[in-house]
Amino acid sequence: MKYLLKSQWLLLLLFICLSSCTTSNKPDAASEVARWEQQAARITIMRDDFGVPHIYGKTDADAVFGLLYAQCEDDFNRVERNYLWATGRLAEVEGEEQLYSDLRAKLYMTEEEAKAEYERSPEWLKVLCQAFADGINYYLHTHPEVKPKLLTRFEPWMPMYFSEGSIGGDIESVSTKGIKAFYEEDKSLGLNSAGHGLVQPALLEEPKGSNGFAISGKHTASGDAMLLINPHTSFFFRGEVHAVSEEGLNAYGAVTWGQFFIYQGFNEKTGWMHTSAYADVIDEFEETIVKQDGKLFYRYGEELRPVQTKEVTLAYKEGDALKEKTFTTYHTHHGPITHKNGDKWVATALMWKPVEALTQSYTRTKKTNLKEFNEMMEMRTNSSNATVYADADGNIAYYHGNFFPKRDTAFDYSKPVDGSNPKTDWNGLHTLDETIRIINPPNGWIQNCNSTPFTAAAEYSPKKEDYPVYMAPSPENFRGVHAIRLLEKAENLTLDKLIDLAYDPYLPGFEVLIPGLVKAYDNQKPNDPKLKAAIEVMRTWDYAVSKESVAMSLAHFYATNLLRDGSAPKGHVMERFDYYANKAPETERLEIFSKTIAELEKDFGKWNTPWGEINRFQRLTGDIKQPFNDAAPSIPVGMASGNWGALASYGANRYDTKRLYGTSGNSFVAVVQFGDKVKAKTILAGGQSGDPKSPHFNDQAQRYADVQFKDVAYYREDVERRAKARYTPGQRVSE
């Protein structure tokens, strides 16, 4: 009996010890809230007359805490969804259709790997990551009415998923269809029209890219350098923010929901604009798989290496239930197996250095001159972007990409290469001075519109023959042609003149396409009065978009129908436009134009409908996937697709509607002038808030359509003067 009592006592002690150990690993709720409140007290958020949050903190960590808190106030829904997507948990909310997006995320980084990346981070970065999590968690704590779809708590390792800048970035080039075919059915989808297995944008898809102009003082009225920041993204993809600390942070610009660094923007001394370089930085390696004794190997030179395998279990929503599916995933030293070409497994290699990339993304916002900026770029982890730069010292610069693996140019890396041949392996990285850069060209301007860097600075552009082909495979596009023409004539620029330049209505694509249509009519002389009237409209058009233009309506649908239904051989838009203008059968041109006239009559009652009656801006809800309704209020927009050469891109489509509604293109746009003091103007599609009840949900919509930019409040005295709300995180605020 005594023995039993002693045994029970020992078991009790063991239970107490284990309970104590378990409890000590969990944050104490009361102490955590007290810590949040203590940090929040050091932060001031001021909302200006457009709802832009200006966050002031003692430390960078305070500014990050306040920045994430403010982002959640504006659109927690988008913050949460970005992390559901990145961490591979989207199917738990949106169902089985997102299962292979989740698997793609897990192929490149599991939660355990993200935690390991966080643990190896320098201490200062850990502090910022913790502040990121604390800012969101404090928002949820102080807003119990907000019900997350899944993520009720954010963790400091989560920013490792959003380290390089763009939400999505390189990983979105990996096809979820290919992943599903391989991991679900062991099938090959074969190569796409570009000869590889990566995601290929549809021909008519609005270009996902950006415009960036850097202009030296020789072309500005003030003598100071200027910068155009003009990303072309999905609308409401980024908010406008200003983060300031007493540790040297004072950055203003656009932040993708959930990021703790300003992605495209400026501080008092430097400005940075990211465009999509479309450089070849993602490679596919075809692996020769050998099975021996029930184990998988892949051939590499003369050896067989074991295929690394890992079990990944994913949850997905089905009705009201949560189900699970387990996959065995495969990796070689090239990367994860993502799809199959014939009988070859394919590993897709891309940059994955979360700590280094996050370090580069954050420290970029605090650089004060070109030398410091170059030192930051030496980290070489900004893989999906080109960077256009200007500063207060008058420097302008351009970096076409940043991350370039060294590759044997005997192989064509635009197609899958033989992974069994060691010569195809990446062999370190090109140094910064080996990459394509432009620093202070004598012409005094630099442009990139997702086109070739070999025209970025006119005759002072880099020379194609000096670089490996994989550094700049992209051809010229109509936006690049447009930008060069304008910048060659630009003088005495002010911020307002730079805005006018960035929104120039001319469409060089139609300068190519439409004369071929008119010529076809003149040669064929069809007896059709309606066709004749429409051709006369096109004959006298100046190729400029406007809300009042009938020619724009005809040209948009004519070009769309040609690209969808015409006979042009494969090629990019510029090549196809040249074909339709000069080589396509004249009867085909006239038949498709006649079809366009009939389409406009059917949908709008008359073929001569002004563009503004068709092309609209509408924001009805805060949903990530916006609904559109022809019967609801909308705003006419005199902008056009970047495919046609519009610098101010406006990607509009039908959504079970007759009218076209914009969903991408010019979203956040800024013009910046450097000097003794920085000056800037900005516009944001719709408004700062994702809440339809907010006064800032749609308060910039008409200004957006009218190209009426707002002045930026950058200096504290200007922010104070325009502040409509002032509070610390945790306080309830109404405007």
Which residues sit in the known binding site for Ca(2+)? 280, 283
Whole-angstrom CA distances from 77 to 45, 98, 135, 629 are: 21, 17, 15, 23
Instruction: Give me the DSSP letters along 512-562.
Output: HHHHHHHHHHHHH----HHHHHHHHHHHT--SB--TT-HHHHHHHHHHHHH
Q: Find how far residue 9's CA is from the centre of its chain.
A: 61
651 by DSSP, 3-state: which? strand
What is the distance between the alpha carbons of residues 132 and 157, in angstroms, rounded to a whole number? 10
What is the dihedral angle through the alpha carbons of 411, 412, 415, 421, rounded to the nearest 10 degrees?
Answer: 0
Chain centroid to Cα 318, Å, comes to: 30
Looking up tokens 């308060």 gives 699
Task: Give Cα separations from 380 to 360, 383, 453, 689 (angstroms).
Answer: 8, 7, 18, 34
Cβ atoms within 10 A of the Cβ of 406, count?
Answer: 15
- For the packed helices 99-108 and 60-86, what is the interaxial angle rounded to 10 degrees? 130
Q: Name the catalytic one among 210, 361, 420, 553.
A: 210
Q: Edge-to-edge strand order for the sheet containing 308-318?
A: 308-318, 321-332, 335-341, 344-349, 283-287, 417-418
Residues shown for the chain: 735
Q: Do the beta carbons of residue 92 and residue 161 sit within 8 Å?
A: no
> Which conformational region is residue 274 in: left (phi greater than 0), alpha (psi within -120 to 50 degrees), or beta?
beta
- Longest distance between any two alpha carbons in the chain, whole Å: 114
Residue 90 backbone dihedrals phi, psi, to 5 degrees: -70, -35
CB 170 within 8 A of CB 164: yes
Between the CA of residue 509 and those of 459, 556, 642, 646, what are the distances in Å? 23, 11, 10, 9
Distance CA 458, CA 443 (A): 7
CA distances for 91 relative to 172, 231, 436, angstroms? 17, 29, 40
Angle made by CA atoms 229, 245, 167, in degrees to the nearest 5: 45
Both tokens assigned to 260: 């703790």
* Integer Cα distance of 587 and 423 in angstroms: 52
What residues are paired with 559 via a beta bridge? none
Q: Exposed/middle/buried for 24, CB within 10 Å: 0-12, 13-18, 19+?
A: exposed
Tokens of 631: 């019967």
- How do 283-287 and 270-276 pair as beta strands? unpaired
Running DSSP on this structure, what letter comes out for residue 313? E
Active site residue 210: yes
3-state secondary structure of 511: helix
Strand partners, 211: 230
**Amino acid found at 111:** E
Look up tokens 């090549």; give the residue.
575
* CB-neighbour burial class of residue 673 (10 A; exposed 0-12, middle 13-18, buried 19+): buried
Q: How far apart are CA 479 and CA 310, in angstroms?
A: 45
What are the Cα distances from residue 205, in Å, to 184, 569, 651, 658?
A: 28, 18, 8, 18
List residues with catalytic annotation: 210
